[in-house]
Structure 1
Amino acid sequence: MNFDKLQAFAASSPLLTSIFVVVTVALLFTEVARLFRGYKALRPAELTALINRDNALVVDLSASADFEKGHIAGSRNVTSSQFDPENKLLAPARNLPVVLVCRAGNASADAAKRLKKAGFTQVYWLEGGIAAWQQADLPLVKGR
């Protein structure tokens, strides 16, 4: 395909060309925003490495009942409704790696944003949450 054919297609299909431009701009915006948000998404294998290498604090934002059904070994439970960057568990970890986890990954991403705004320096969240952890065949601990 050469440039002349591309121009001819764009001229004959303005709707498709517009959709392509909008999708491209949206993807670029999303990727640039991800670079500057200040916290990083982790996959389960990356979280395991961070726990083993840097002794990261893992904070599970699940409801207490869900936490007891299964959580990542060593994680601490702070429900979303009680989440506060000044929490006695979180405040001392301001300069340590803190990883936020929830069931699906949505609440933990929002909480990561709050921690970063509060001045925490090493903030992470488990992309896909506990569901992604289970899909990676990694173990969960039951009980408190």
Structure 2
Amino acid sequence: MDFLSQNWHLVALAVGAGLALMWPSLSGKTAGVSASEAVRLMNREKAVLVDVCEPAEYAAGHAAGARSLPLGQIEAGAKALPSNKSLPIVLLCASGMRAGRAARQLQKLGHEKVVVLAGGMNAWREANLPVEKGGA
């Protein structure tokens, strides 16, 4: 007990570091993955790529093979989502903000592995991955 009272600053630092490491899981934030990690998930784990942009944004340019499911239609969009809730889902939007909200909704609906493409379509394009236009 003497150690704790004499080194309270070290204890406070250790507790702070622990909280900082646990913050993403405590705050309900979802994991953000790089474009290369998203492609790896799609190739090795059969992840489904879902674009949560609005239809006009999706038509203007989306990741090749991405399914369109606008953020506002997540709960009604069962056809665009895999029925197997253990399959990974990679969500993307223009920047990653809407995809984060969509990820939280999908987790509440029971999907087990939902990740967000960090940087959204901007990161996809920067990685020189294929982009398609049209369709919704």
The answer to whether TM tops 0.5 is yes
- Separation in 2 of the partners of 1:76 and 1:30? 35
- Separation in 1 of the partners of 2:19 and 2:99? 22
Quote the residue 1:105 is aligned against.
96
Q: Who wins on radius of gyration, i.e. which is larger? A: 1
- Separation in 2 of the partners of 1:69 and 1:113? 26
Quote the residue 1:119 is aligned against.
110
Within-5 A mapping of 1:56-71? 56-71=47-62
Structure 2 counterpart of 1:106, one-letter code: M
Is the aligned partner of 1:90 residue 2:75? Answer: no
- Identify unmatched segments of 5+ residues in structure 2: 1-11
Structure 2 counterpart of 1:68, one-letter code: A
Is the aligned partner of 1:44 residue 2:28? Answer: no
Quote the residue 1:76 is aligned against.
67
Is the aligned partner of 1:137 residue 2:128? Answer: yes
- Checking the alignment, whether the CA contact within 8 Å between 2:88 and 2:114 is kept in structure 1 is yes
Secondary structure (helix, strand or coil) at the match of 1:125 reads strand
Distance change in 2, residues 1:30/1:118 (3 Å): farther
Give the structure-2-normalised TM-score: 0.76
Identical residues among aligned pairs (%): 32
- Identify unmatched segments of 5+ residues in structure 1: 1-20
Structure 2 counterpart of 1:143, one-letter code: G
Task: Name which of 22, 34, 52 aligns with 1:32.
Answer: 22
- Checking the alignment, whether the CA contact within 8 Å between 1:68 and 1:142 is kept in structure 2 is yes
Distance change in 2, residues 1:103/1:120 (3 Å): same
- Separation in 2 of the partners of 1:28 and 1:85? 39
Aligned length: 122
